[in-house]
Amino acid sequence: MNLDKCKECFQEYDVRSKWCGPCNVKHFRLNFENWTSGNNDIDKFIQDTQLSIRIYGDKILEWIPYDRFYDIEYIAKGGFGKVYRANWIDGFVINWDNENQNWRRYGDRVVALKSLNNSHNVTLEFINEIMLHHKVNYRAIIGLYGITRDPKTKNYIMVLDYAENGNLRDYLNQNYNKLDWRVKITYLLDIASGLEHIHENELIHRDLHIGNLLHRRNIFITDMGLCKPANYNASENTKNCIYGVLPYIAPEILRGQNYTKASDIYSFGIIMYEIISGLPPYYDVSHDKILAIKICQGLRPKFNIKVPQLIVHLIKRCLDANSLKRPNAKEIKEILYQWWIKLKDQIELQKQIKEAEEINNNLLTSNIPSTSLSYETHAEAIYTSRLLNFNDLPEPKNSDDYYEQEDNLISMKYSESLQIDVSQLKINENNIYN
């Protein structure tokens, strides 16, 4: 590090980055009287984060006037609000420039604006999401730059990094057949790294699915709205009400148990299956109570391609019906890192990949492979987060042959037996969706 004395505060600073922590904090403090969000809690939160900035690379949150954005374009609707694409005239703060006596900024930048419905009266949910997102601001979590407010709706808005390729599901639909094994492992490593960071901060994501993963060269986790402390316990009135996407929810959570880090790992296992196969889990069936019953009885999504057994085994561990047998995020990240950084040295994995590629190439029905996937989603297969409430689900268990050396996550034989078992269950049709 090349150090010199700051001409303003006379303390040492890094010449290369032009980062002087004391000067940054000083000028943030001097600027407090020049802005307000209109809400004391938000003001104090932003001010506290600015005063806690110490080293180069720390994320700096700001109150950003709405008129600093232009070309605002609606792009999506989320569970609790809307998402827009916009250009930010100034771009994010880098540090205080003593020579020009102003903030050095990134410059005009495309960002995402995430509003929360009815947040004109600031809700605990909005404050919670901002605080938790800032707490885990990390390279594998989508960047948070600050907060603004729509002058018309009065709703508060989070200003986030914009992922030009959209969510990972949309990206896979268009590009899956261009991805090699190393790229797939890279994507999984990105997600595992972000999840490890969330868990290291004693938090649980609680709604991890492929729609909450964004693609911008790398993969980023987003939507921390349901994130809760690891020791959080749901009340008796709410523990049977689940909010999420059914195929990604661990069987013990479907039965009303509290979320744990292990339930996030189950969600990661489904995502791992999806990135490897390219297909959404259970895309060809209704996402209803019958599916929830099957999942508790051991049903897991099946591959329609040959997959290296080492990869299948890791997915199976993540999807184990016994949450205590699932690996933690750190172990998953370390396994994926070894596969990624030393893929050439992973002789057994290389052998399995070569075998899989030969078999899968023979399965191609066209000499001109398409880069996009082709599948038909069931009309009642729902991949957006929603409230679910299932009663009287069976005790979670693995399939009878779960740990046998099978290419699929469960054998076709056991899958068919599950269909017979479920069809024979005496379920009152009026209660299936309750």
Work out the pLDDT band at 140, boundaries 50, 70, 90: confident
132 and 224 Cβ atoms separated by less than 8 Å = yes
pLDDT of residue 433: 37
Task: Select 168-431's CATH number: 2.60.40.420, 1.10.510.10, 1.10.3720.10, 1.10.10.10.
Answer: 1.10.510.10
Task: Select 10-161's CATH number: 3.20.20.70, 3.40.50.1260, 3.30.200.20, 3.90.226.10.
Answer: 3.30.200.20
Q: Is pLDDT at 238 greater than 60 in this prediction?
A: no
Q: What pLDDT, in 10s, does the model give residues 270-296? A: 999 999 999 999 999 999 999 999 999
Q: What pLDDT, in 10s, does the model give residues 25-56? A: 899 999 999 999 988 888 998 999 899 887 77
Distance separating alpha carbons of residues 68 and 91, to the nearest angstrom: 9
Tell me the HSE value of 321 on the side-chain side, using a 13 A CA sphere.
22
Q: Which of 160, 198, 141 is nearest to 329 (CA)?
A: 198
Q: Is pLDDT at 21 greater than 90 in this prediction?
A: no
In sign, the C-alpha dihedral spanning 345, 349, 355, 358 is: negative
Domain layout of the chain by residue ranges: 10-161, 168-431
Per-residue pLDDT, averaged over 331-339, amounts to: 95
**The dihedral formed by the CA atoms of 224, 225, 229 and 230, expressed in degrees to the nearest 10:** -70
Distance separating alpha carbons of residues 111 and 4, to the nearest angstrom: 35
Per-residue pLDDT, averaged over 69-73, amounts to: 97
Phi-psi region of 116 (alpha: psi -120 to 50; beta: other; left: phi over 0): beta
Work out the pLDDT band at 76, boundaries 50, 70, 90: confident
How, if at all, do strands 218-221 and 213-216 pair? antiparallel
Tell me the HSE value of 242 on the side-chain side, using a 13 A CA sphere.
28
Least confident among 7-21, 204-218, 409-423? 409-423
Winning range, highest mean pLDDT, from 27-41, 356-370, 403-417:
27-41
